[in-house]
Amino acid sequence: MKVGLLLARIHARETIDIAKNAEKAGLDGIWVPEMNTRDSVTQLAGIAASTNRIRLATCILNVYSRPPVLAAMTYGSLDELSSGRVVAGIGIGNPEYVTDMYSMEFKNGFARLQEYLEVLKLAFKGEPFSHSGPHFPVKHWGLGYSPERTHVPIFVGAHNDSVLRFAGQKADGCILNAVSIEDVKHARQVVSSAAESQGRDPSAVELASVMMTSLHEDPETARKNARRLMSFYISRSWIRKRLARSPFAEEAISLYQVLKEKGLEGVSAAISDEMTETLGITGAPEILSHRLEEYQQAGLDTVILYVAPDGRSATDRFQSAIQAVS
């Protein structure tokens, strides 16, 4: 199994140190989200110039904040800086960011994602092209240079079956988030069936997932730190929609009510141990290898560890996770 790190809400210079340590330890990738703090591209550019082997992925760029032509220019530049190590992780995003931050209407997300991927694929070929789609029309444009690669891997963030099927049909991989073993098995089945329907090799579609990770010798301390991180997830509408289709549907409804009444701290205190341990990797450091094996057997190709804050510096807590998995 490939192992990467999700570097979120971390000082930009620290991300470079963590990435260098991860590369030295043999980890596969660095995945940087773009939510409402630092942008992912600047950080990945710094990491690209400071490393030699490790994959560099956006996790994710949403289809509202940048038009695909600009995204193609961005990924092309990053791929040059990194000598061909970029993964273009894209997705629909969520309404909290799109509406509140970008002042855009959150609609036609799936249609935009489909068209976005098509424009990126055309752009990465390096030749001028035109595209007549309703959301992102392009008139005779090209990168204007020979790109590092004419096929940059494109992964899509997937939280429902429609996007999973699209990933199997068109993408190089998909990115799950906070999933159980059963969620992975289901995603693998949907993606593989969709790939086969298009004559594709299902194994060519990489199944990756961000996993909330909290490691501590004291199990209760590990769960406490994990619940703090999970409370942020509960506050996002996209995760609540997915949980509404899961065995945790009733708990998700209850937690949303707690969120409205008591905020994130209230949610953190109310999340059950079962949810914490099912949707994340939580416990003593030695549990990590066992949990990764379980996810691999379920069909996950790549795990992206999102290490919960625990009072230590980001460099120190990620180094502990690196050591646990090395």
Summarize pLDDT for 157-180 with one digit per residue, the tens: 998 999 999 999 999 999 999 999
Range with the lowest mean pLDDT among 74-88, 133-147, 221-235? 221-235
Average pLDDT over residues 293-304: 98
Q: Is the pLDDT of residue 79 over 90?
A: yes
Q: Residue 175: name the closest of 92, 273, 270 by CA.
A: 92
Q: What percent of the chain shows pLDDT beyond 90?
A: 89
Q: Is the pLDDT of residue 105 over 90?
A: no
**Sequence ranges of the domains in the chain:** 2-216+281-325
The pLDDT score that the predictor gives to residue 235 is 84
Q: Is the pLDDT of residue 236 over 90?
A: no
CA distance 39 to 17: 18
CA distance 201 to 193: 10
CA distance 241 to 235: 11
Tell me whether the omega of the peptide bond preceding residue 54 falls within 30 degrees of 0, making it cis. Answer: no
Q: pLDDT band for position 93 (50/70/90)?
A: confident
Query: Which sign does the torsion angle of CA 243, 246, 249, 251 carry?
Result: negative
The pLDDT score that the predictor gives to residue 94 is 82
Q: Is the pLDDT of residue 239 over 90?
A: no
Fold for 2-216+281-325, please state it.
TIM Barrel (3.20.20)
Average pLDDT over residues 95-101: 82
The pLDDT score that the predictor gives to residue 128 is 97
The pLDDT score that the predictor gives to residue 37 is 87
How far does CA 310 lie from the centroid of its chain? 21
Q: Is the pLDDT of residue 294 over 90?
A: yes
Contacts of 207 (CB under 8 A, 6+ apart): 173, 174, 176, 184, 187, 188, 191, 299, 300, 301, 302
SS3 271: coil
Average pLDDT over residues 127-151: 96
The pLDDT score that the predictor gives to residue 233 is 84
Q: Residue 72: name the closest of 110, 114, 40, 117 by CA.
A: 117
